[in-house]
């Protein structure tokens, strides 16, 4: 006997328990947004059985099926977690979305799920989607249906500046391809394309090997896009690799370029690793042994900017480039950070400087004009009306605030869209699109087996895609849900254009306390019903015109 349940995209179906979610029978969406649901299954009375899954829907709908696969989590959450978590001890967690390719294993007594995604654009109207299971001989095992109502309106273009850091050395390591080989470029483009498909508008661009998550004195594989030559004390620069990178980004739809950090992480004490041909010898020119504010390195940045800026102008992207000083500096090094920032401002005077940091004094002092505070430290920045405000989260944001850890409910992932809308957030940063290393990049890992960077960060903090076959990126359940959050934000912007912001906020916060980054409705029911209300309000406003 096969038991089937229709669940929302916010469910996480663990193999050992009956899914504690309400079943759904209907969904609504706008014409140009993806919409997903899940079919949970449980086979009784058999140890193992093969089955086939098929979907029946109107030809106007483009429907994709994915099998939701479990991955191990040795470190689901920190010991001092809050109560809004699904698992606290080592376990299996549903996360990988693998495209369905013709069969599925039904393991007796275990729950699993199929992810159903309606993608592409379709006409307004009402549709019925039926998912059917049959055994290897073609005999039916069961079927379920969901009704989809498509509103006669489209999401506006996404204006959120969103980056999730792209680590190409991890792709080179996992697929065992040389950096800058043709295969490397092909795989990098595949992964960049998947990022754009899920709302990313910015790509971390490694002018030099990014000084991120690297042990002091250690090195990550060289992914430097700028060729450097030093002969007789004079620098020359080659931008052929950088030009190819920019062409790749334009091809896949990247809108902004995040130039990698000019100083080391957590303090701007040193230069990043810079490789160069020095009087005919290719070697490391700068690195951990280079003082950040040394005359040699400052002179190098001045020489670089004199040639790089005209190149970026010629590429037509200068006004869409961001520059960094150092990631997550602490308040104790504010004075030193300000000196390093002054160097960057002098070399790149017309560029927007951004950095992830959480102490308001960095902004108040003028050290960084566009701060990116963490979601659990953003209040002073909101209270002081900091313009063009960004925010970020990483492993440290594990209490009260939204995040996309595997052990968190998907509703805690998706709520960020509402929060970004309410607080007029212009940009969002997260550090781990595809970080497949242990902490500090001591060694590479297999993300299908190690999901916590070697017991360092809660599972899921370090990546949202998996390395699939043939260099293709496999989306995670968390990536799809995060994109739903971005679509929620765009739907709210659309509704605001139709009825005004006051009415949107009245609808959002009806019957609840004001939403903040730490206080918001928990669970899937509020999000699902609220998005249905938003869609209904859009439909009413459009039809009234």
Overall pTM > 0.95? yes
From the CB of residue 130, how many other CB atoms can be counted at a distance below 10 Å?
12
Query: Which residues share a beta bridge with 62?
Result: 119
Which whole number is the average pLDDT over 207-223?
Answer: 98
Q: What angle do CA 517, 370, 308 make, to 5 degrees?
A: 140
Residue 23 lies inside a defined structural domain of this protein: yes
146 within domain boundaries: yes
Long-range CB pairs of 244-249 (<8 Å, 24+ gap) are 244/185, 245/205, 246/315, 246/317, 248/185, 248/188, 248/189, 248/192, 249/192, 249/203, 249/205
CB 75 within 8 A of CB 398: no
H/E/C letters for each residue in 197-233?
HCCCCEEEECCCCCCCCCCCCCCCCCCCCCEEEEECC
319 assigned to some structural domain: no
Q: How confident is the model at residue 473 (pLDDT cuts 50, 70, 90)?
A: very high
CB atoms within 10 A of CB 349: 9
Task: In whole angstroms, give the CA distance from residue 504 to residue 495.
Answer: 7
Is residue 148 in some structural domain? yes
The DSSP bridge partners found for residue 392 are: 374, 429
For residue 368 the two structure tokens come to 């960084």
Split at pLDDT 50, 70, 90, the class of 459 is very high
Q: Is the pLDDT of residue 219 over 80?
A: yes
Helix residue spans in 269-415 (DSSP H):
295-315, 334-347, 360-364, 379-383, 410-414
DSSP secondary structure letter of residue 371: E
CATH number for the domain harbouring residue 44 = 2.60.40.10
pLDDT at 345 over 90: yes
Q: What is the pLDDT of residue 277?
A: 98
**Half-sphere CA count of 259, side-chain side, radius 13 A:** 24
Find, among 39, 31, 70, the residue nearest to 56 by Cα: 39
Between CA 421 and CA 1 the distance in angstroms is: 46
Q: Per the domain annotation, does 225 fall within a domain?
A: no
For residues 348-358, average pLDDT? 97
Residue 530 maps to a domain: no
Helix axis angle, 334-347 relative to 295-315, nearest 10°?
A: 50
Report the domain count for the chain.
Answer: 1
Q: 210 CB contacts (<8 Å, ≥6 apart)?
A: 165, 167, 204, 220, 223, 260, 261, 272
Which residues are CB-contacts of 35 (< 8 A; sequence separation ≥ 6)? 27, 29, 117, 118, 148
**pLDDT for 217:** 97
Cβ 355 vs Cβ 391: under 8 Å: no
Spatial contact of 37 and 118, defined as CB atoms under 8 Å apart? no
Spatial distance between the Cα atoms of 488 and 231, rounded to a whole number of angstroms: 54
Q: Taking Cα atoms as reference points, which of 308, 241, 3 lies closest to residue 144?
A: 3
DSSP designation for 155: P
Burial class (CB in 10 A: 0-12, 13-18, 19+), 446: exposed
Other Cβ atoms closer than 10 A to 225: 22
Q: What is the pLDDT of residues 278-294, one digit of tens each?
A: 999 999 999 999 999 99
Q: For residue 69, is it within any domain?
A: yes
Q: What is the pLDDT of residue 229?
A: 98
Q: Provide the pLDDT confidence category of residue 299 given band limits of 50, 70 and 90.
A: very high
User: Does 434 fall in a domain?
Assistant: no
pLDDT tens sequence across 26-66: 999 999 999 999 999 999 887 888 999 999 999 999 999 99
Residues 493, 532, 28: CA angle, nearest 5 degrees: 100
Mean pLDDT of the residues in the chain? 97
- For 227-248, the pLDDT digits (tens) are 999 999 999 999 999 999 999 9
Q: Locate all alpha helices (DSSP H) within 12-162, ordered by sequence.
A: none
Query: In this structure, are residues 291 and 316 in contact, taking their beta carbons and an 8 Å threshold?
Result: no
pLDDT grade, residue 256 (50/70/90)? very high
Nearest to 195 by CA among 447, 425, 479: 479
**Higher pLDDT pick, 136 / 493:** 493
Q: 125: pLDDT confidence band, cut at 50, 70 and 90?
A: very high
Residue 524: helix, strand or coil by DSSP? helix
**pLDDT confidence of residue 46:** 74
Per-residue pLDDT tens over the stretch 423-440: 999 999 999 999 999 999
pLDDT for 48 = 87
The domain in which residue 95 lies consists of: 2-154
The sheet carrying 161-164 orders its strands as 161-164, 427-430, 390-392
């Amino acid at each position: 006997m096969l038991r089937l349940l229709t669940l929302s995209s916010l469910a996480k179906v663990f193999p050992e328990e009956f899914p504690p979610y309400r079943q759904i029978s209907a969904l609504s969406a706008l014409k140009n947004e993806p919409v997903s649901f899940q079919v949970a299954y449980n086979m009784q009375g058999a140890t193992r059985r093969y089955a086939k899954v098929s979907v029946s829907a109107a030809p106007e709908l483009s429907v994709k099926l994915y099998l939701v696969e479990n991955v191990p989590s040795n470190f689901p959450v920190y010991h001092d977690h809050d109560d809004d978590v699904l698992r606290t001890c080592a376990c299996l967690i549903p996360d990988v979305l693998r495209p369905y390719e013709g069969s599925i294993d039904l393991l007796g007594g275990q729950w699993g799920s199929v992810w159903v995604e309606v993608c592409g654009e379709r006409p307004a109207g009402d549709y019925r989607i039926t998912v059917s299971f049959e055994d290897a001989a073609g005999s039916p095992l069961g079927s379920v249906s969901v009704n989809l109502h498509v509103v006669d309106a489209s999401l506006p273009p996404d204006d959120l500046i969103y980056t999730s850091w792209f680590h190409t050395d991890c792709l080179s390591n996992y697929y065992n391809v040389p950096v800058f080989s043709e295969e490397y470029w092909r795989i990098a483009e595949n992964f960049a394309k998947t990022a754009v498909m899920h709302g990313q508008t910015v790509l971390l661009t490694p002018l030099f090997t990014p000084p991120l998550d690297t042990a002091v004195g250690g090195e990550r594989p060289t992914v430097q896009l700028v060729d450097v030559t030093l002969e007789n004390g004079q620098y020359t620069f080659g931008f052929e690799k950088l030009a190819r990178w920019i062409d790749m980004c334009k091809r896949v739809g990247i809108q902004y370029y995040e130039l990698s950090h000019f100083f080391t992480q957590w303090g701007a004490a040193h230069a990043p690793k810079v490789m160069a041909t020095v009087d005919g010898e290719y070697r490391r020119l700068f690195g951990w042994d280079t003082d950040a504010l040394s005359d040699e390195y400052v002179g190098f940045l001045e020489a670089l900017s004199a040639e790089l800026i005209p190149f970026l102008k010629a590429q037509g992207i200068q006004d869409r480039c961001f520059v960094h000083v150092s990631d997550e500096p602490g308040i104790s090094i504010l004075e030193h950070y300000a000196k390093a920032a002054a160097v960057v401002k002098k070399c790149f005077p017309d560029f927007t400087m951004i950095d992830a940091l959480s102490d308001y004094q960095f902004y108040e002092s003028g050290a960084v004009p566009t701060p990116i505070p963490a979601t659990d430290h953003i209040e002073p920045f909101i209270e002081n009306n900091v313009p063009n405000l960004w925010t970020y989260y990483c492993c440290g944001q594990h209490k009260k605030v939204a995040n996309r850890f595997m052990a968190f409910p998907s509703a805690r992932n998706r709520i960020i869209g509402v929060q970004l809308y309410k607080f007029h957030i212009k940009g969002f940063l997260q550090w781990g699109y595809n970080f497949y290393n242990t902490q500090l990049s001591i060694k590479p890992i297999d993300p299908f087996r190690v999901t916590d960077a070697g017991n360092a960060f809660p599972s899921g903090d370090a990546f949202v895609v998996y390395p699939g076959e043939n260099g293709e990126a496999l989306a995670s359940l968390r990536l799809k849900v995060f994109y739903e959050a971005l679509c929620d934000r765009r739907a709210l912007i659309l509704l605001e254009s139709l009825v005004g912001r006051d009415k949107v906020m009245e609808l959002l916060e009806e019957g609840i306390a004001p939403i903040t980054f730490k206080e918001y409705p928990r669970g899937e029911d509020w999000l699902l019903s609220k998005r249905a209300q938003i869609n209904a309000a859009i439909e009413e406003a459009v039809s009234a015109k």
